[in-house]
Chains A and B, each alone.
Chain A
Amino acid sequence: MTSATLATAVPARRGNGWVRSLALLIHWELLSMRIALPMVVAVQSVVGVGSVLAIGLWFDQVPPGAGLYVTTGGATMSLIIVGLVMGPQLIASQRMRGTYDFLWSLPTQRSAAAGAWVVVALVATAPALVATVAVGALVYDLDLSISPMVVPAVVLTAVTATMIGYALAHGVTNPTLVSMATQVLIFVVFGFSPILFPGRNLPGWIDSVHQWLPVASMADIVRASLTTGLVTDVGRAYVVVVTWLGLCAAIAAVVLTRRK
């Protein structure tokens, strides 16, 4: 995939050009990640399935809700991790290798590059997602009612998490700082958000803060699409997630289109 090929293949005009850019960039990203991708999929799966199984060790008798929470929450964690952690790490390593500047020099639209990354992120997470839910359902004998809403919920969560990661990675230029920030973020999201366990387990003020942060709402929309009757106020959760998506996409757009 040379820039010459791309230059002749992508006329710089709207409509048809954008889709073609997207397709070519997805191809490019997948190719450039072809060695790392299996590793990423493996690690995601181990983390997702591992978390689901670990809960069984922590309880004497796993309470009925806990299995459901950790399975549906585990799925959300995979999506959040790939967007919030993998994305910035990839961008940081691209900066170091010079790939970052190369990508931006290509005659493709920047929004197409962002879109390509989102698609690749979804591809990278899908196996882990399925594995986590399947193993959880099996081990905890869960009665999941998977609705068609799972598609928009998963896609929306992935896109929003990716946009947040994008805003972080492009806004903060120091790769070490980005790496540290993402590690801390994952720790905080993992342990201090009502994703893997119900909000009532958290101190009141933390639970309240999560009404405005995106991660709890992401967990809610994914959980609602996999269960019935467990989540209240799904509509509000969708609004929160979409709002954060808009906010971070705007930040990313500003950061990406500014000239160095």
Chain B
Amino acid sequence: MTGLPVAAGVERVAVTAPAAGPAWWLRSYRLLLRRDLIELRLQLVTILIIQIFMGAGMAVIYGFMLGDLPPIRTIYVATGAPVLALVPVGAVMLPGITAQRKAEGSQDFLWSLPVPHTASAAATCTAFTAAALPGAVLAMVAAGLRYDLDLSVSVLVVPAVLLGALVMSAIGYGIGHAVEDPQRTNLYTNLVIFGVLMFSPISFPIEQFPDWLASVHRVLPVYHVATIIRAGLTDGVVTDTAVSFAVVAAWTVAGWALAFRAIASRR
């Protein structure tokens, strides 16, 4: 790069850094993260709107469906709002954008860049995790206002929401890259939304569920995400928080594993 004429004001990027090692990985990660965040910034308003609809909107709608609620049920419905707001970003938008990138060919372009693929994956997951956070907070505030609740917020809510967003991104990334056909991705994400809204114990106590369905949900991540977030927002409502944290962490790793396997087995 030295010796070539460069226009005034253009930043020189040194390509003399070694193309290997943790320093290179970190550098790639930072550059890719910036790229992803810039791309997402354009969609921020859409993301927020979807999150408000699904988070606060559904919390309000569940209230209408159920009619007069005892206080504990109101707490469940309201504290389910941030969880519902996290799902559409990581588990739906991320696979959707991945499918779109695949269809457009821009995913192939990204893979062709001289950066470690793991850095690219990490950057995308980070970007979508970060993008999900403001909407989750907004949804929680809106639901809290609507139901006029007295919540006992503890510092636990921070890792809970972060981990919740992270697991959704991990799962979404896994689905996005493991599913070859972009049209199929759309079907899966619609199924996820429907399943989560209708059949998951996010806003309702799992005790109400038939045993077989409750068992399924103790394996799946959404119930546990709801538990850890609820634990951060209330006092004495939920138990076994540590188990839920562990399950969510396990699912995050599983999502990444699925994604890396799909990336590694690419042509």
Q: Please give the residue numbers on chain A whose beta carbons come within 8 Å of chain B beta carbons, in ascending order.
A: 46-47, 50-51, 54-55, 57-60, 63, 66, 187, 190-192, 196-198, 200-202
Contact = CB atoms under 8 A, between A and B. Distances in A.
A58 B64 contact: no
A196 B64 CA distance: 10
A187 B67 contact: no
Given A191-B64, A201-B64, 14 more contacts: A50-B199, A51-B198, A54-B199, A57-B213, A58-B62, A58-B66, A58-B204, A58-B208, A60-B208, A191-B61, A192-B64, A201-B63, A201-B65, A201-B67
13 contacts: A46-B194, A47-B194, A50-B198, A51-B198, A54-B198, A57-B201, A57-B208, A58-B203, A59-B208, A191-B57, A191-B64, A198-B67, A201-B63
A190 B60 CA distance: 12
A244 to B, nearest CB: 23
B195 to A, nearest CB: 9
A65 to B, nearest CB: 9
B53 interface: yes
A54 B63 CA distance: 14
Contact of A197 (B57, B65, B194, B198): B65
A57 B199 contact: yes
A196 B61 CA distance: 11
Contacts of B203: 58
Nearest to B203: A58
A187 B57 contact: yes
Interface in B48-79: 53, 57-58, 60-67
A66 B68 CA distance: 12
A197 B213 contact: no
